[in-house]
Amino acid sequence: MTNNLIVHISDLKKAFSGSVVLDGITMELHEGENLVILGQSGTGKSVIMKCIVKLMEADEGQINVFGTEMTNCSAKELSSVRSRIGYLFQEGALYDSMNVRENLLFPVLRNKESRKKSIKELTELAEFHLENVGLIEAIDMMPAELSGGMKKRAGLARTLMLSPELIIYDEPTTGLDPYRTEAISDLIVQIQEKYNTSSLIITHDIKCAKITGNRLTVLHDGKLIANGSFESLSGDKQPEVQLFFK
């Protein structure tokens, strides 16, 4: 991990219909770091993610990603930043009408740089990433034939097709049993180590947080109330923090 900043957020505020969701969020993500945003469901974790990639406009504050100020960037700058970010959605977000191979090829066939490669080269790349997530045997399967854990693995392989520098994981272990939760969490760490990615991991799952996070921050009532390693947070006396460690 280096000291180079990938994401810097300062005094981020967001409200909906007068209800404050984010109330002065300040946080940093460093190059090569896995940062876990830990919070109960409905606390605004995903709102932070949407503001980072400008799927949602912040009411106040600054958001800097890869050196670009997102709150007032141009459409070209926004597109450039987004092209460097990968996403793993809760359910994998696979296209139901495409098999796994086609799902992986879909984003790269629409990417200007990737289109310079042949279908053979892109298919070999898809096979490479499926091997890395332990899913090569499912390359011709349809999403309906996959388990929840397999869908998440396929979604992660698709994310890796465009070589993202930053990956955002939105509740990566939701709906998984303890064995698959650990497997997906271990895979997130392997991806970090193999590709030197930086990651934001949004979760309420303390087991996932423990395995994946180099650093954890806790979101409660629109504020980040604790920040540090798993070990340091486990000794934090705030009841809102201890709730995760019971």
In DSSP notation, the chain reads --S-EEEEEEEEEEEETTEEEEEEEEEEEETT-EEEEE--TTSSHHHHHHHHTTSS--SEEEEEETTEEGGG--HHHHHHHHTTEEEE-TT----TTS-HHHHHHHHHTTSTTGGGS-HHHHHHHHHHHHHHTT-GGGTT--GGGS-HHHHHHHHHHHHHTT--SEEEEESTTTT--HHHHHHHHHHHHHHHHHH--EEEEEES-HHHHHHH-SEEEEEETTEEEEEE-HHHHHT---HHHHGGG-
| pLDDT for position 13 | 96
Burial class (CB in 10 A: 0-12, 13-18, 19+), 63: buried
| pLDDT for position 21 | 95
Q: Where are the domains of the chain?
A: 5-84+164-245, 96-163
Q: How far is 152 from 165, CA to CA, in rounded Å?
A: 19
Pairing status of strand 198-203 against strand 34-38: parallel
| pLDDT for position 1 | 45
60-65 sheet: strands from edge to edge: 19-30, 5-16, 60-65, 68-69
Question: Which value, to the nearest 10 degrees, does the dihedral of the CA atoms of residues 132, 138, 140, 142 take?
Answer: -120
| pLDDT for position 91 | 67
What tokens were used for 244? 């995760």
pLDDT in tens, the chain (246 residues): 446 899 999 999 999 998 999 999 999 999 999 999 999 887 889 899 999 999 999 999 999 999 999 989 999 999 999 999 998 877 668 889 999 999 999 988 876 665 677 889 999 999 999 998 889 999 999 999 998 889 988 998 999 998 899 999 998 888 888 888 898 899 999 999 988 999 999 999 999 999 999 999 999 999 999 999 999 999 999 999 999 987
Q: How far is 196 from 181, CA to CA, in rounded Å?
A: 22
What is the identity of the amino acid at 27?
A: M
Q: Which CATH superfamily is domain 5-84+164-245 in?
A: P-loop containing nucleotide triphosphate hydrolases (3.40.50.300)
Answer whether 115's CB lies under 8 Å from 107's CB: no
